[in-house]
């Protein structure tokens, strides 16, 4: 089984062109390329896209979600207490 897994990984690596491929050099006149190194350098986009716009309801929704989590947690604790109590009562019954 282990040999089959190793073979699958090797075939996948070989099908993708191997782990080490030669980098294609980019002309030094291009922006974002370091002179003489041949390796591309990341340049920050001068005009990034604006992020998501948050509406005023987001704060109200977060409070509502927090309240629901608190109520759900309290309900879970009460359910666990009821289940535990029933088990204790059934253990102490003389008929069983």
DSSP 18-73: -S--PPPP--TTSTTB-TTT-SB-----SSPPP-PPPPTHHHHHHHHHHHHHHHHH
Q: Per-residue pLDDT for 72 more than 90?
A: yes
* pLDDT of amino acid 19: 47
Distance CA 63, CA 57 (A): 10
CB-based contacts of 81: which residues, under 8 Å, 6+ apart?
A: none
Please report the pLDDT score of residue 71 as a whole number: 98
pLDDT at 83: 97
């Amino acid at each position: 089984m282990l040999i089959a897994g190793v073979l699958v990984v090797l075939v996948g690596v070989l099908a993708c062109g191997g782990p080490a491929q030669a980098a294609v050099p980019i002309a030094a006149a291009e922006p974002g390329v370091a002179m003489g190194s041949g390796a591309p350098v990341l340049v920050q986009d001068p005009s990034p896209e604006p992020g998501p716009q948050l509406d005023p309801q987001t704060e109200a929704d977060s409070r509502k979600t927090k309240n629901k989590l608190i109520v759900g947690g309290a309900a879970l604790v009460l359910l666990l207490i009821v289940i535990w109590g029933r088990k204790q009562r059934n253990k102490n019954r003389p008929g069983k």
